[in-house]
Amino acid sequence: MDLLGEEAREAVRRALREDLSQGDVTSSGFIPEGSVCRAEISAKEEGVVCGLPVAQAVFGEVSCGDLRLELSCEEGDAIEAGTTVLSLSGPAAEVLAGERTALNFLQHLSGVASLTRAFVEAIDGTGVRLLDTRKTLPGLRSLEKYAVRCGGGSNHRFSLGDHVLLKDNHLALLKTAFPGSWAKEVGLRAERVRRLRPLARIEVEAQSLGEVAELRTLPLDLLLLDNMSLEELRRAVALIGGRMRLEASGGVTLERIRAIAETGVDFISVGALTHSAKAMDFSLRITA
């Protein structure tokens, strides 16, 4: 969990407060005091496991120190249905107190990692890097972006302060203020930002080949090609001619991503990695 940061630790504590703010009336009322057990968390389908340190942190928070945990695989492993990923032994009440919260994190993060792995494998050999976006669940960004890395993807911006990305709404405001010279204004402001923050990357979105032509000579690091057809992407690559790196986004599916990668872009960003990943099914069963 130290690798995941304070945001992740607070997410665990917040999730446990949701579930245990009034205690566990079922276990306290029906489980004999002092009961101990062994339990296993197992996958019910194949996929990429992610979130084991988070699950460990959950049980660490609910345990008084007598709960023992043993991992059966490593983060990022591709596993089959029926694979046991974590074994527990100790006070039954502690196992049951952490069960749902641990599974919720494990299922969601493994779902993100599994979907990411599928996209990464689809573009294997092209040299194109898969990026995530800021389309994350509030409060879970660091964990979801960690899951993307476990799946083999790369992280784009963590926050608005990471690097410059002028998107459609920013450009709409600039075009209103500078209707005949918006691109020139972008270049002037890019130079100003670069003087103030020399390490900041500067990226601008282009929604048409006309905008690509207007932006191609500006002091930018990246150009975001949004919702373009394959032919438009190929023409944009030719227009840029290596002056800056290119990122494709919008309408990216598993069926289409290989063809997008083969147009010559450098990056492909996919919001679905975090906002539409299906949870990978896990269960916890008491075995003794």
Q: Mind telling me the catalytic residues?
A: 100, 135, 167, 205, 226
Inter-residue contact 24 to 272 (CB < 8 Å):
no
Inter-residue contact 221 to 203 (CB < 8 Å):
yes
Quickly list DSSP for 76-140. T-EE-TT-EEEEEEEEHHHHHHHHHHHHHHHHHHHHHHHHHHHHHHHTTTS-PEEE--S---TT-
Burial of 55 from C-beta contacts in 10 A (0-12 / 13-18 / 19+): buried
Positive/negative CA dihedral, 73, 75, 77, 79: positive
